[in-house]
Amino acid sequence: MADKPWGGRFTEPTDKFVEEFTASLPFDKRLYRYDIAGSIVHCRMLGRQGIISAEEADKIIHGLEGILDEIEAGGFTWRTELEDVHMNIEVRLIEKIGDAGKKLHTARSRNDQVALDIRLYLRDECAAVAKAIDSAQEAILNQAEKYIDVIMPGYTHLQRAQPVLFSHHLMAYFEMLERDKGRFNDAVKRADRMPLGAGALAGTDFPIDRRFVSLLLRFEQPTANSIDSVSDRDFNLEFLFACSALMMHLSRLSEELILWSSGEFGFVELPDSFCTGSSIMPQKKNPDVPELVRGKTGRVYGDLMALLTVMKGLPLAYNKDMQEDKEPVFDAADTVRGSLRAIGELVAGIAPKRDNMLRAAKGGHSTATDLADYLVKKGLPFREAHEVVGKVVRILIDSGREMEELTLAELRKFYPAADEAALSCLTVESSVNSRDHIGGTARHAVLEHIQAVKDIRAKT
């Protein structure tokens, strides 16, 4: 067992299947940049503290930089029997520079090493996801500004409720994505603690300088408890929750695009380049991209639940179960970034069918609330106004008419003091533009929202 870095106390070789079953190399090798960066800073600290000589530190750092070049150039040989990214790099370092390489692991464990690597990875990944969210938001913003005069029905319970601007509906998703971006930015704050120096769980008796390591790796500060340092995976869970919430929002948008592009709705035309056809039905144009994003949402939810389940019963501190933290995180990160790109580019290419939208907005007696509001302004209590308008709607339904077809004579049967102003509020255009306040669907309010967002984005 001399070939294993930990093999001194073992008398039998590791079973080949066990080597493969327990190895994390197939997925954690993507952490190599962070592993090498952490090792270089750790080595600088060891040299600075006199734990190893300055010459040894320089030799190790040069060797690590050479290994990084090897990996980047595709010339590095990964060996499954060495279990993980850490041991592959360390063994290669010893091969390159000799015994000095054996001193790199002084005053650290793979437990605090991997905790560092994944925090460094998540710091970059959160920034990458936030950037991808920005791109998707830009597409939404551009479409909202471009189609500011398109009116559509707003829905509750998937029933026509009140008319809104298509731009206002799109900007609702902008706000969802803004909250998502905030969650990723916020998650970084919890990950911004430097765990190196915790050792296996109890710290180290070497005179290390954890603040120096934190400073060089751009962490806010070192972790406060060595046991928690190696057993904490809250930052992974928080990242996965942020991914899940984001995918939920993308799934809702995908669902609407699927519905809107159907013949039953006919609200939007999706770009051909983001759809596919049928192998048997020549007329079909299938919304595969939003369908797949909707489906991948379940995958990301599964990543979150998988890690929650792994962590729920673990005693302190590190356990091999925690090796299962990386694949869900990597999978969710890749899925989220791909989905954001797909949705952003898809939204940028959609074209609303404004006539169909307007026709639908005028249906379903969607301005009934406007009539009730008119009656309230005339002095009627809202509950009474609600009842009056309900009776009016019943008459219109029975006669197969919409709100704009209501006559003043019919309204006066229920409210004798009604005047011509009552009828003017029944158009969808009047309904939309009457809601001219912060957060409202009026053209002026939506344009102000768009401009405010653009101003903020211009400053960041």
**Tokens standing for residue 330:** 């990597």
Taking a C-beta distance cutoff of 8 angstroms, is the pair 418, 411 a contact?
Answer: yes
The pLDDT-based confidence of 18 (bands split at 50, 70, 90) is confident
Task: Show which of 106, 136, 165 is a domain's final residue.
Answer: 106
Between residues 17 and 158, the one the model is more confident about: 158
What's the confidence (pLDDT) of residue 236? Answer: 97
**C-alpha span between 313 and 309 (Å, rounded):** 8
What's the confidence (pLDDT) of residue 460? Answer: 82
**C-alpha span between 162 and 154 (Å, rounded):** 5
Q: Is 220 contained in some domain?
A: no
State the first-to-last Cα distance of the chain, in angstroms, to the nearest integer: 56
**Tokens standing for residue 195:** 């765990």
Indicate the number of domains in the chain: 3
Report in angstroms the alpha-carbon separations of 124 from 120, 188, 214, 304, 328.
Answer: 7, 9, 16, 19, 17
Q: What is the pLDDT of residues 376-406, one digit of tens each?
A: 999 999 999 999 999 999 999 999 999 999 9
Q: Is 450 contained in some domain?
A: yes
**C-alpha span between 37 and 220 (Å, rounded):** 17
Strands 221-222 and 193-194: parallel
Q: H/E element holding 153?
A: strand 151-156
Among 15-19, 300-304, 389-393, the range scoring the smallest mean pLDDT is 15-19
| 451: CATH | 1.10.40.30
Pair (240, 347) in one structural domain: yes
Q: Is 209 contained in some domain?
A: no
Active-site hit among 157, 273, 279, 399: 157
In this predicted structure, the answer to whether residue 5 has a pLDDT above a threshold of 70 is no
In this predicted structure, the answer to whether residue 343 has a pLDDT above a threshold of 60 is yes
Pair (263, 140) in one structural domain: yes
Pair (172, 293) in one structural domain: yes
In this predicted structure, the answer to whether residue 7 has a pLDDT above a threshold of 80 is no
Pair (97, 123) in one structural domain: no
What b/e readout covers 322-359, taking b as 16+ CB neighbours within 10 angstroms? bbbbbbbbbbbbebbbebbebbbbbbbebebbeeebbe
| 34: CATH | 1.10.275.10
Q: What is the pLDDT of residues 41-97, one digit of tens each?
A: 999 999 999 999 999 999 999 999 999 999 999 999 999 999 999 999 999 999 999
The pLDDT-based confidence of 1 (bands split at 50, 70, 90) is very low
Q: Is 426 contained in some domain?
A: yes
Active-site hit among 53, 62, 262, 278: 278
Measured N-to-C along each axis, helices 32-48 and 54-72 cross at an angle, to the nearest 10 degrees, of 170
Tell me whether residue 278 is one of the annotated catalytic residues.
yes
If you average pLDDT over every residue of the chain, what do you get? 95
The pLDDT-based confidence of 448 (bands split at 50, 70, 90) is very high
Pair (372, 418) in one structural domain: yes
Q: Is 211 contained in some domain?
A: no
What's the confidence (pLDDT) of residue 291? Answer: 97
Pair (170, 310) in one structural domain: yes
Q: Which residues contact 136 (CB under 8 A, 6 or more apart)?
A: 177, 340, 341, 343, 344, 347
Task: Show which of 359, 391, 412 is a domain's final residue.
Answer: 359
The CA-based angle 39-40-43, given to 5 degrees, is 85
Pair (265, 171) in one structural domain: yes
In this predicted structure, the answer to whether residue 2 has a pLDDT above a threshold of 50 is no
The pLDDT-based confidence of 10 (bands split at 50, 70, 90) is low
Pair (135, 270) in one structural domain: yes
The CA-based angle 227-233-234, given to 5 degrees, is 110
Nearest to 240 by CA among 310, 341, 319: 310
Task: Show which of 306, 326, 359 is a domain's final residue.
Answer: 359
Pair (454, 318) in one structural domain: no
Domain that holds residue 173: 119-193+230-359
Pair (400, 412) in one structural domain: yes
Q: What is the pLDDT of residues 407-441, one digit of tens each?
A: 999 999 999 999 999 999 999 999 999 999 999 99
Q: Is 96 contained in some domain?
A: yes
| 298: CATH | 1.20.200.10
Between residues 458 and 1, the one the model is more confident about: 458
Pair (236, 275) in one structural domain: yes
Burial of 245 (0-12, 13-18, 19+ CB in 10 A): middle
At residue 224, the 3 state secondary structure works out as coil
Q: Is 301 contained in some domain?
A: yes
Pair (252, 330) in one structural domain: yes
Measured N-to-C along each axis, helices 110-146 and 234-260 cross at an angle, to the nearest 10 degrees, of 30
**Tokens standing for residue 289:** 């991209």
**Tokens standing for residue 243:** 């991914």
In this predicted structure, the answer to whether residue 16 has a pLDDT above a threshold of 90 is no
In this predicted structure, the answer to whether residue 314 has a pLDDT above a threshold of 90 is yes
Nearest to 24 by CA among 301, 330, 333: 330
Q: Is 64 contained in some domain?
A: yes
Kindly report the number of other CB atoms within 10 A of residue 295's CB atom.
11
At residue 352, the 3 state secondary structure works out as strand
Measured N-to-C along each axis, helices 166-191 and 234-260 cross at an angle, to the nearest 10 degrees, of 170
Tell me whether residue 249 is one of the annotated catalytic residues.
no
